[in-house]
Chains A and B, each alone.
Chain A
Amino acid sequence: MRATVLQLKCELQARFDVPLGVRKTAETERIPTGISAIDQLTAGGIPRGALTEICGAESSGRTALMFALLGQSTRRGECCAWIDAAGAFDPASAEEMGVDLTRVLWVNCGGNTEYALKSVDLLIQAGGFGLVVLDLADTPDKEARRIPLASWFRLRHAAERTGAALVAVERQINARSCSVLQIEMRRKRPVWIGKLLRGFHTEAESRKHYRTHTTELFVVR
């Protein structure tokens, strides 16, 4: 048996780098989100040159997480693109989270998912962006599921080629094997103090690493 395996290895060595083994991938650079629980969950942040999916229901903290990431990226002097399928981006909220808006290219697709996909493809192929966000958070599940896997593969390859961190914000996982990191956000309960909505508890789970962390997001009115 051992001899057969060795013979197979020798024959496959010429064609494959690591026959009958696991290929060691290079350590990818990551953008920290600034939220310690999320950085702990993702082993340092969102990876560059790869597709990451962040999914969850409404009021689960997806946008707060993305604005935190956007703030970190723009503070480093990087240019970022926010492709907004529904046109839900709120510049005031982003600025409160420390986002340098002058470094953000916002594309408001007015509810057209197809335009959003074409725009993200054009922008990521152009290169030079540190972070590209595809915001499909308000896109109905039925429509998001219709995005062909080939489109996700194309985007993943473009991200790998240009080195940009590509993040898709959705209600549920759509890109499946094309994404290297999947974070599911779950809302727990809102926190009301007096007449103010102070924030809510939310939970984040890494779908590919099977790790779960609970974090709190706060709002100040």
Chain B
Amino acid sequence: MFACLHAPGNVALLVECARGFSPHIEEIPPGTVIFDVRGLASLYGPPAMLAREIERRVGMPANIAIASNPDAAMHAARGFPGITVIEPGKEAATLAPLPLNLLGGSPDTAELLHLWGVRTFGDFAKLPPLGVAARLGNEGVELQRLAHGNGYRQLRPIADPLDFQAEIELDYPVELLEPLAFILARLLGEVCGALAARSLATNEIRLRLALENAPEHATSLKLPVPMLDQKAFLRMLQLGLNGRPPAAPVLKVYLAAEPVKPRRTQQGLFVPSSPEPEKLELTVARVRHLVGQDRVGTPEISDTHRPDAFVMRAFAPSSASMAIEEAPEEAPPQPRLCLRRFRPPRYAQVLVVNYRPVRVISQSVQGRVVMAKGPWRTSGEWWREDAWNRDEWDVALEAGGVYRLFQEVDSGRWFVEGSYD
């Protein structure tokens, strides 16, 4: 079944109303919108009730017709005022009184039919098909089929704009974040609703705030997995704004979401459980708000010999099942001494006798050196300003701790890099 809305003037409103019922919508100027309503009987009942629901939602005077094919629905909506429901098989009888000018066709054909005295759909439908074919050709046959109400063409849906954004201009500047949260909740509701209506999710939300007498405040929320959780988005945006609040009162709020296909996963029965990505993202955002933006994540060791060189990446563990399949059965590595780093390395005063450290005095690390092995010189990236060049020592202090010291070759200053544990 196909429904048709006809109201010359505000076609955008008709399209918006049609979107509430179907994603397959065809727009035919002037002022006509046809959309697919197959399968809606279980939601809205018989076609007559569906038509009344469409009338209620459209919010403006419009002709509504429901028929078994798009052309019959269009002709009925253009020809009959109010609601018209055409039962399947009764198209010809229902459309019969409509004037022939609704049928369309070339001006020559329309003039010829007028000269023959054919005025309505019914008159044209009664003409012998072979005679029509002989005199009017293919166009005549096609028009007579439409006059019978026998359409078979498919809808030509309009392209979906996929534009998931919302904005609001405020009557007065908003200074506090709490009232701003209400506005964000409303905009997120609109955007998430639009995404949900198209069975989509998002992996990036962009927020722009126009400020009073200050440059625009822009922030972006990048998600490791596609999500569609309005409350989580709001909480994450709030945490982000708390950490980096706008510099001036807000005049306008603009929110946009990047549409992506939603995440579909099926975990294996014997795969270890892992944190739910949506929940994890919100938790990590909370922790990040607590300890700092660049202090939470997964360390990725950089491809360099520079000591303690790593980059903090977002925590996004790969699929556990993949990891298990790829992991070969191997014996656990032998235990080794591990370094606990002082960040930054602690400046130390070191007493040196015969080129060997014999006493260390530093914040929280001090004592007589009972054993010292070294030095091992490491250096690199001499072409950069932050090049390193140092001599490293492993020392055991009288108290029992084993530490790594280093002396900068250029400045001669000593540091405690960390303790072995």
Contacts and interface: CB of A to CB of B under 8 A. Distances in A.
A128 B276 contact: yes
B338 A91 contact: no
A180 interface: no
Interface in A122-151: 122-123, 125-130, 137-138
A90 B401 contact: no
Contact of B295 (A108, A128, A200): A108
Which 8 pairs of residues, A with B, have the shortest CB-CB distance?
A34-B332, A128-B275, A219-B337, A77-B320, A93-B338, A91-B299, A63-B421, A88-B340
B394 A197 contact: yes
Given A110-B292, A128-B274, A196-B373, 20 more contacts: A61-B421, A63-B338, A79-B317, A90-B340, A91-B301, A92-B308, A102-B317, A105-B296, A118-B290, A123-B283, A125-B283, A128-B279, A128-B280, A190-B396, A192-B371, A197-B396, A197-B420, A200-B402, A215-B335, A216-B335
A199 interface: yes
B298 A107 contact: no
Interface in B288-327: 290-292, 295-301, 308, 310, 312, 315, 317-318, 320-321, 323-324, 327
Given A76-B324, A130-B272, A197 B402 contact: yes
Contacts of B280: 126, 128
A105 B298 contact: yes
Given A77-B272, A119-B290, A126-B279, A199 B338 contact: no
Interface string A73-109: 0011111000000011111111111101111111111
A76 B343 contact: no
B368 to A, nearest CB: 15
B315 A94 contact: no
A72 B394 CA distance: 29
A62 interface: yes
Given A59-B400, A100-B323, A91 B271 contact: no
Interface of A: 34-35, 57-65, 67-68, 71-72, 75-79, 87-98, 100-110, 112, 115, 118-119, 122-123, 125-130, 137-138, 187, 190, 192, 195-197, 199-200, 215-221
Interface of B: 271-276, 279-280, 283-284, 286-287, 290-292, 295-301, 308, 310, 312, 315, 317-318, 320-321, 323-324, 327, 332-343, 371, 373-374, 376, 394, 396, 400-402, 418-421
B301 A79 contact: no
B321 to A, nearest CB: 8
B295 A79 contact: no
Contacts of A95: 301
A196 to B, nearest CB: 7
A109 B338 CA distance: 20
B335 A106 contact: no
Given A72-B332, A90-B308, A127-B275, A57 B373 contact: no
20 contacts: A59-B420, A59-B421, A61-B335, A67-B338, A77-B323, A77-B327, A88-B343, A90-B341, A91-B299, A92-B310, A96-B333, A97-B333, A98-B333, A110-B291, A119-B290, A127-B275, A128-B276, A190-B371, A190-B396, A217-B335
Contacts of A89: 299, 340-341
A90 B338 CA distance: 8
A119 B297 contact: no
Contacts of B371: 190, 192
